[in-house]
């Protein structure tokens, strides 16, 4: 069964009787599930994808008992790697599709899990429903997902590998979200449309969210009719696009004449130009080597060749949200690392999917550096200022109007205000109790960082013995911070203090020359301070992935536990390094919230209460 295909359009049809969905960038996939058999993931061309995406098949196994009565079942969807609720990283899906080694596929499925996001119901209990109107098939899908207790609507933080795409009656609402979160585009579907295999229909319309990148013309190959374009990365001219689509015959003729009259013939049918003439290319993404789906957009004869750079391309690929008015983007922030304001804002945009879950619904304290690290001036800010735009939401607690950073616009606005550090409490606004325990491992200086490593490794061994999930990150300064997630609103600060004090006291008794719980620095000697007092109501900790206001602009970086060894150094984790890590190893804190265990921590507390005299 080949899937029904969409028709491309420049504008979204805004008509009565149409529904709208986010277009996700991945592999089109049919899920076909017969009774007493393993479900099949079938590509657009009928290729079996089960081996490439074992996490989706594995998740199907977990719901096999609940779904049996609904089989045989056929669903239409897209295999994606969700970056946020509106964007998928196609490069990750494509890379997985090319893998053949089971060990590599397994590693990738853990670091970069993919999901099947479903948008159509084709068969249920063996009954084919493709000829019923789309609106009724959508209702059937919702009922199906409710019965199976599956995620509605899509939530990129949810660990379920089968999720349902939300349909909306407002095209504007969908398009605004796609633009804001850098999604691939929007799909419009006629509510009365049926599903016809293998056919391209005008009742399903796709509109891409094109980004425009300015490149330098470098080469024309008459043999195949393609033009080449490049940008500067440092001093090197880097080819990033080969294109011919999007040109009218007149525009194509102009370009050919330009090469033949002003260029140099470098081969039998090849002409080259010195890097001096700019053009604009429309694309949907950059795959690390080339612009994806490139199309000629416009001539840019007045463009500055010196601005056709890697850095400018990044900003063109990641435009600012429309509500944000950026000021002084070239202001130096971390001179030693050559990081300016635009670099910082780009970091926030790219790391937002990992950072914002820890900021959401927390009473935020930021440290602002109005002149970057060029100046000693800095100040704490909790109150929402009067000049904040309307989209910056807040909540008033004890006469302080705390900012809530719950969306990308607020994060970018804070970044533009040069809030360089994000500090958060251990609870959300919805609970009086902590949602995590954090141990702050604070060595005397970076020279004694090995003490933090030793303490973290010993803590991990204890937590493993207790069967508690634990996570670790650098502080962005000279130490480490170890986390244990807690179920929301279940354990008080007094109860968690029993645990934190026991752990820290136990380590100090084991190695009194290395560790201490002494509050006064003058009495610590050269020992690492195990701070359990800081874990309390009203106290804050630096958020995972927040920068720090030190000279190198280090990041409070989540780590894999296997990285916590003698080779670890907190100085490694700059903005650029952390962004590259997110591409190579994913987010070590991805499963943080789902790792909280009520039963396990309650059992630990019960053991400690029996051991510790009251």
585, 587, 589, 591: CA torsion to nearest 10:
-90
Distance set, CA 185 to CA 48, 154, 178 (Å): 27, 16, 6
Exposure on the CB side of residue 246, measured as CA atoms within 13 A: 21
Cα atoms found within 13 Å of the Cα of residue 266, Cβ hemisphere only: 13
For residue 86, what are the contacts with CB-CB under 8 A and spacing of at least 6? Answer: 22, 177, 178, 180, 181, 182, 183
Nearest to 437 by CA among 450, 426, 422, 424: 426
Contacts of 82 (CB under 8 A, 6+ apart): 24, 88, 115, 117, 154, 156
239: enclosing H helix or E strand: strand 236-243
Q: Which residues, at least 6 apart from 85, have a Cβ–Cβ distance to it below 8 Å?
A: 153, 154, 155, 156, 177, 181
Distance from C-alpha of 146 to C-alpha of 33, rounded to nearest angstrom: 18
The residues facing 79 across adjacent strands are 27, 116
Catalytic residue among 2, 16, 23, 323, which?
Answer: 23
Report CA-CA distances (Å) from 407 to 165, 321, 353, 485.
Answer: 20, 11, 10, 23
Grouping H, G, I as helix, E, B as strand and the rest as coil, residue 446 is helix
Neighbours of 55 (CB within 10 A): 20
DSSP H/E element including 243: strand 236-243
Please, which residues bridge with residue 123 across strands? 74, 128
- Is 23 considered catalytic here? yes
Given a contact cutoff of 8 angstroms between Cβ atoms, the answer to whether 78 and 117 are in contact is yes
295 forms bridges with which residues in the sheet? 282
Closest CA to 476 of 398, 610, 578, 561: 578
Active site amino acids = 23
């Amino acid at each position: 069964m080949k899937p029904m295909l969409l028709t491309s359009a420049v504008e979204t049809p805004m008509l009565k009787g149409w529904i709208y969905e986010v277009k996700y960038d991945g592999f089109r996939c049919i899920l076909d599930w017969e009774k007493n058999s393993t479900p099949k993931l079938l590509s657009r061309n009928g290729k079996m994808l089960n081996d490439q995406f074992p996490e989706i098949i594995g998740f199907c196994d977990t719901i096999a008992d609940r779904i049996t009565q609904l089989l045989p079942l056929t669903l239409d969807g897209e295999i994606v790697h969700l970056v946020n609720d509106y964007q998928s990283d196609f490069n990750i899906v494509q890379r997985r599709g090319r893998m053949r080694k089971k060990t590599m596929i397994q590693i990738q499925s853990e670091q970069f899990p993919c999901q099947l996001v479903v948008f159509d119901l084709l068969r249920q209990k063996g009954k084919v429903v493709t000829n019923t109107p789309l609106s009724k098939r959508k209702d059937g899908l919702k009922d199906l997902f409710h019965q199976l207790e599956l995620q509605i609507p899509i939530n990129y933080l949810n660990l379920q590998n089968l999720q349902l795409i939300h349909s909306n009656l407002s095209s504007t609402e969908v398009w605004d979200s796609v633009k804001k979160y850098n999604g691939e585009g929007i799909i419009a579907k006629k509510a009365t449309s049926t599903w016809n295999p293998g056919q391209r229909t005008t009742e399903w319309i796709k509109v891409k969210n094109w980004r425009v990148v300015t490149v330098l013309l470098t080469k024309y190959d008459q043999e195949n009719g393609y033009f080449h374009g490049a940008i500067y990365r440092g001093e090197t001219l880097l080819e990033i696009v080969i294109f011919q689509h999007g040109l009218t015959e007149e525009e194509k003729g102009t370009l050919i004449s330009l090469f033949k009259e002003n260029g140099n013939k470098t081969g039998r049918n090849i002409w080259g130009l010195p890097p001096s003439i700019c053009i604009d290319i429309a694309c949907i993404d950059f795959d690390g080597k080339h612009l994806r789906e490139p199309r000629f957009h416009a001539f840019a004869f007045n463009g500055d060749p010196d601005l056709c750079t890697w850095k400018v391309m990044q900003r063109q690929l990641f435009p600012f949200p429309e509500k944000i008015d950026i000021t002084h983007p070239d202001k130096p922030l971390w001179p030693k690392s050559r990081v300016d304001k635009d670099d910082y804002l780009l970091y926030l945009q790219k790391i937002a999917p990992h950072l914002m879950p820890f900021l959401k619904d927390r009473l935020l304290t930021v440290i602002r550096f109005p002149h970057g690290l060029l100046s000693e001036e800095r100040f704490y800010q909790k109150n929402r200022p009067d000049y904040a735009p309307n989209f910056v939401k807040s909540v008033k607690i004890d006469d302080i109007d705390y900012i809530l950073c719950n969306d990308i616009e607020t994060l970018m606005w804070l970044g533009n205000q040069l809030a360089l550090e994000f500090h958060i409490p251990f609870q959300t606004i919805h609970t009086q109790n902590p949602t995590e325990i954090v141990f702050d491992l604070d060595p005397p200086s970076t020279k004694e960082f090995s003490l933090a490593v030793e303490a973290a490794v010993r803590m991990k061994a204890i937590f493993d013995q207790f069967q508690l999930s634990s996570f670790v990150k650098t502080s962005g300064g000279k130490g480490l911070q170890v986390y244990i997630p807690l179920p929301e609103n279940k354990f008080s600060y007094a109860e968690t203090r029993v645990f934190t004090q026991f752990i820290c006291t136990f380590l100090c008794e084991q190695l009194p020359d290395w560790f201490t719980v002494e509050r006064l620095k003058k009495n610590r000697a050269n020992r690492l301070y195990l701070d359990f007092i800081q874990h309390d109501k009203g106290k804050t900790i630096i958020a995972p992935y927040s920068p720090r206001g030190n000279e190198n602009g280090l990041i409070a970086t989540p780590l894999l536990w296997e990285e916590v060894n003698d080779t670890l150094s907190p100085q490694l984790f700059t903005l650029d390094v952390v962004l590259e890590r997110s591409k190579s190893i994913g987010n070590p804190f991805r499963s943080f919230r789902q790792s909280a265990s009520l039963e396990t921590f309650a059992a630990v507390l019960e053991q400690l209460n029996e051991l510790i005299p009251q």
